[in-house]
Structure 1
Amino acid sequence: MIAGVTISLFFLLAVVVSGVFARLSPIAIPLPLVQIALGAVIGAVPGSAISIDPDLFFLLFLPPLLFLDGWRIPKEGLLRDRATVLEMAVGLVIFTVLGIGYFVNWLLPSIPLAAAFALAAILSPTDAVAVSAITSRAPIPKRLLRILEGESLLNDASGLVCMRFAVAAVLTGTFSAGEATLNFLQLAIGGVAIGLVLTWGVTRAKDLVSMKLGEETGSQILISILIPFGAYLAAEHLQCSGILAAVAAGIAMGYEEQRGKVLAVTRVRRAAVWDTIQFAMNGVIFVLLGEQLPGIAMGAATVVYETGHFHPIWLGFYVLAISAALAILRLIWVWISLRFTLFRAARRGETIVRPSWRLVVAASLAGVRGAITLAGVLTLPLVMTNGLPFPARELIIFLAAGVIIVSLLTATIGLPLLLKGLELPRELSDRQAEDEARGIAAQEAIKAIEAAQHNMGEGKDDADLYADVATRLMEIYRNRIDGRPAMSDAQAMRKSEEIERRLRLVAARAERDAIFKLARERKLPDEVTRRLVRDIDLTETRLTTV
């Protein structure tokens, strides 16, 4: 027990050190590759080997990661390009499962067809975090990036659900397309409903408690961490999809956030906690792969011998072949999806702007596999229901890990070269929406200051002091509305500072309410909303931490 805890702490230390190594490297090395290498170093230490319980691993890692994806996905882009996103996230997943499944079974007959479908399903999800990190060094249209992010959210769920069906077919030896379709609808509808209802109920309950007893930041953060696990476990208990429940809970949490019922300090600290959770979990998954990789490679080599190939180099050939097949299938689907998108735009009478062929190839090359693929493949059962080992489990895990590495390297090297010097299409900037939102929020802040100033100073001997401070603050907001730089705050007496602090709090809360109102009315992108609310939250946190 103590040894397991010690190794887990070393994993977390490796995640920290990997970030240092990645920043010190003179060339841009994807962080997951550094983490895999450090994991291999840990695995070389005698006594460091650990065994993974697939069900426990699935429960610990996937619900919070899927929940966070749903929480933070830019929903206005998801709704605007919903048809394209669904084509990529559902259609491409099914296309990939069928194409890669049959291809893997043909390439490696030692992998049964159902197990090959399981491998193809877990290879279908893409990693938007990795894509965002890679494309930050290359020009890429923001709309394309949002589509890739939306695809990543939904194909995480669809890919993992398909994997569950394929694994069930391996374990039972039977599969019915009609029965699977009905089961999928039951799993999907039930899972989504449970995730939405549970999040709505929990948030309403904690709001009620906070109204009566006050808000406790630590409890609020802990509740947000427990929600994805609660949604997942409840859905699984009711024989629905825990995966979709976690995603739906995250999406519902994003909408609940826009109600603005949480204290600023809670939002700031909660965001920091979730950033840490995401960083740690993603990192630990790759470190764990590195630690397991030598044993996995040995098991994979054993399976390869059964195919008649007696040199381990064939493992690399299989990885490259599957990676190439994934890229080709994705390119075909992206091209088809683009044709449908242009056809729909033409029917609506919109101006047709044909993207450069380089953007089409970039959208295909951006299909980077990452943490969800790795977490999913590590949850494959160890044994069948009859007690026999799961067929070719080590080989499947090795192939998935190899595809992840190849996709990371290909995108890291290929995307910047492909997009270098590319003239991006004109897009509406978020800057205009942000400026308009700041102006509206400043107007609401001025109104709130005027009302609060009268209430605070009415009937008091120092009412003029309230008026002076309020005038200075309102001038700051008027300068913001007019686009002029804000005047510097003058030093005042202690009481003047206290009045100013209280009025600033009133103004900040009015600003935030205005921003949330614009977000609820879908007049402001989620990304801009989060940026503006975070600025206001930081201001309020500073003013309330005295």
Structure 2
Amino acid sequence: MHAVEAFELVLALLALVIGLHWLALKLRWPPATALLVGGGALAFIPGLPAITLDPELALVLFLPPLLMDGAYYTALGRFRRHLPGILSLAVGAVVFTTLVVGVVAHMILPSLPWAACFALGAIVSPPDAVSARAVLKGVHLPRRLEALLEGESLLNDATGLILFRFAVAATLSGVFHTGEALQSFAFVAIGGVAVGAVVAKGWVFLAKRLNDRMLVMLSTILLCWAAYLAGEAVHVSGVIATVTAGLAMGWYQHEILSAEIRLRANSAWFILVFVLEALVFILIGFSLRAAIERIGGITAIPLAWVSMMVAVVLAVTVARFVWIFASEAVLETARKFGIERARPLGWRQATVLSWAGMRGVVTLAVPLTLPTEMPGRDLMLVCAFAVIFVTVVVQGSSLGLLIRKVAPVDADPPAQMALPAAEGAMAHARSEVVERLAYDEDGTLIHPMMLEEHRKRMRFMERYTAEPAAAMDGLRSHFDVLLQAIAASRAELIRIHRAGLIEDEVLHELERDLDIEEMAMIFQRGD
């Protein structure tokens, strides 16, 4: 394909994204479902050029920014609080599903080597971060359930990729050592955390010293690829490195990035993530054509392969239910024995968690990286497509309905401070600064309108976001004081968040208001 034709095709895909996304909104479908089905249907239009997705490029291009976006907005306090449950899903459930799928595959096709069967299990076992985010947008979930799903989607790709590499190596070499595999698993995971922390530390150092806002924004966007590629370069988990760097950036960005950079960068990042998410599902649908043509067309699919696809889809679905409800039984038993930290989800949340197992870009890209001499390569690719299609279309489309029917209850205790209390704390911090700076050194009141306004803010919270008074003498000094007051509000907001008194959602909402107000002050001051 000519370079210009490739560019035109990209533009056509972006136009297709707009149309399918609009159609999904009209039909009230999850956008991921419309994009996947639409891409798959359009791929078979006669005369349309074939689109092949390079697997290595797909992982490097799509995975790091989408993982970073999820990590950046992850509620870190809840992530730490629910880390045991997250690891149970991201490691335990993935390993269990890999074993179940491997056993089922070997039962149906005994000629396929055990290691190859487990490679198939590793391909389809990790639920996808992109699919989960795309499907769960606009769905209200209990905070603990949301933390488990977000945390699982960030970490389980690493588990699946590590298991896949072990299984492929064992298939081709015929040798597998459990002890060495466990050591390698630990090294890759811990090394990924270390690399991500180092890269994030470098970003913090750099962002504090770059004086140009565009350079800071560019370094922020490039951080995801820097962490991923650094992890892969030293042969540790690039996924875990990216997630670690994203969590660190989400924690420190409140103190490092200015309001202008945060607002501009968030807008650019939102568009980038939207386009990448949409293109992932479009390209998954288009890649189905190449997979079907590779095996000689739909009619050439052997009956044994159809049985394998059905069995793998069922195994993936049932294994997740079994793991989650078995974990619930363990927690219930531990609770009865007086272990207070054991808190079962309850059948409502467990049901939703079990059904939210959509697969996506990793399940697509990984089988494409299989060497040509790998036994069952084409079968694994077809099974991967079947799992992606069923989980995204069936589970993704019905998840919202299931949540409404089951109605999971948020049993987590609320934070000590709600939004009004946090606003009150910020207003108090701002008022203290205004009371001090409203007078000059000899005690003369120089900003009476501002002082009166902030005293009213303390008495009437509904006027908290009121605009300052009209232009007056000393306008620049007036806004200088307001900017210092905003800085005090931001410092107080970060303090109460760091103390664990408010949720991350409250932090982001209030900081956004401060950013907009600060930008308004800067523009009105004439900078």
- Out of 203, 222, 234, the position equivalent to 1:226 is 222
Alignment CA distance shift 1:200-1:447 (3 Å): same
Provide Cα deviations, 1:14-72, integer angstroms capped at 9, x if missing partner: 222221111122xx322122212332425636362233332222221222222222222
- The residue aligned with 1:6 is 8
Q: State whether structure 2 residue 506 is matched by structure 1 residue 522.
A: no
Distance 1:43 1:5 in 2: 21
- Out of 522, 534, 541, the position equivalent to 2:512 is 534
Provide Cα deviations, 1:338-379, integer angstroms capped at 9, x if missing partner: 13333444555649986653433222112222344334445x
Distance 1:528 1:108 in 2: 53
Distance 1:397 1:357 in 2: 34
Distance 2:99 2:215 in 1: 45
Is the Cα–Cα contact under 8 Å of residues 73 and 153 in structure 1 kept in the other structure? no
In the TM superposition, residue 412 of structure 1 has moved relative to its aligned partner by: 2.6
- The residue aligned with 1:322 is 312
Distance 1:322 1:60 in 2: 28
In the TM superposition, residue 236 of structure 1 has moved relative to its aligned partner by: 2.2
- Out of 376, 395, 398, the position equivalent to 2:379 is 395
Is the Cα–Cα contact under 8 Å of residues 449 and 469 in structure 2 kept in the other structure? no
Alignment CA distance shift 1:301-1:142 (3 Å): farther
Q: State whether structure 2 residue 235 is matched by structure 1 residue 257.
A: no
Equivalent pairs, count: 520
Q: State whether structure 2 residue 100 is matched by structure 1 residue 105.
A: no
Provide Cα deviations, 1:387-429, integer angstroms capped at 9, x if missing partner: x4x4444432332222222223234326524642647255434
- The residue aligned with 2:38 is 38
Most deviating of 119-128 and 180-189: 119-128
TM-score computed with the length of structure 2 as normaliser: 0.88
Cα RMSD (Å) of the superposition? 3.2
Alignment CA distance shift 1:130-1:51 (3 Å): closer
- Structure 1 unaligned blocks of 5 or more: none
Most deviating of 339-348 and 85-94: 339-348
Alignment CA distance shift 1:18-1:497 (3 Å): farther
- Structure 2 unaligned blocks of 5 or more: none
Distance 1:361 1:353 in 2: 16
- The residue aligned with 2:388 is 404
Q: Secondary structure at the match of 2:509?
A: helix
Distance 1:348 1:437 in 2: 36
In the TM superposition, residue 97 of structure 1 has moved relative to its aligned partner by: 0.9
Is the Cα–Cα contact under 8 Å of residues 97 and 121 in structure 1 kept in the other structure? yes
Distance 2:518 2:494 in 1: 16
Alignment-mate amino acid for residue 542 of structure 1: A
Q: Percent identity?
A: 30
Alignment-mate amino acid for residue 445 of structure 1: R
Q: State whether structure 2 residue 169 is matched by structure 1 residue 175.
A: no
Alignment CA distance shift 1:423-1:256 (3 Å): closer
In the TM superposition, residue 206 of structure 1 has moved relative to its aligned partner by: 2.5
In the TM superposition, residue 327 of structure 1 has moved relative to its aligned partner by: 2.0
TM-score computed with the length of structure 1 as normaliser: 0.85
- Out of 351, 360, 365, the position equivalent to 2:350 is 360
Is the Cα–Cα contact under 8 Å of residues 4 and 50 in structure 1 kept in the other structure? no
Q: State whether structure 2 residue 437 is matched by structure 1 residue 441.
A: no
Distance 2:466 2:225 in 1: 47
Q: Secondary structure at the match of 1:46?
A: coil
Is the Cα–Cα contact under 8 Å of residues 295 and 301 in structure 2 kept in the other structure? no
Distance 2:353 2:503 in 1: 23
Alignment CA distance shift 1:349-1:187 (3 Å): closer
Is the Cα–Cα contact under 8 Å of residues 90 and 158 in structure 1 kept in the other structure? yes
Alignment CA distance shift 1:414-1:369 (3 Å): same
Alignment-mate amino acid for residue 520 of structure 1: R
- The residue aligned with 2:447 is 466
Alignment-mate amino acid for residue 36 of structure 2: I
Is the Cα–Cα contact under 8 Å of residues 236 and 242 in structure 1 kept in the other structure? yes
Is the Cα–Cα contact under 8 Å of residues 126 and 359 in structure 2 kept in the other structure? yes
Taking the TM superposition and a 5 Å limit, the aligned residue runs for 1:34-433 are 34-40=34-40, 41=42, 44=45, 46=47, 48-109=49-110, 112-127=113-128, 130-131=131-132, 140-207=141-208, 209-210=209-210, 214=211, 216-258=212-254, 260-300=255-295, 309=304, 315=306, 318-346=308-336, 350=340, 356-378=346-368, 380-381=369-370, 383-384=371-372, 388=373, 390-408=374-392, 409-413=394-398, 416-417=401-402, 419-420=404-405, 422=407, 424=409, 426-429=411-414, 432-433=417-418
Provide Cα deviations, 1:280-332, integer angstroms capped at 9, x if missing partner: 112111111121212212435679968565xxxx63x5444322222221111
Alignment CA distance shift 1:96-1:485 (3 Å): same
- The residue aligned with 2:482 is 504
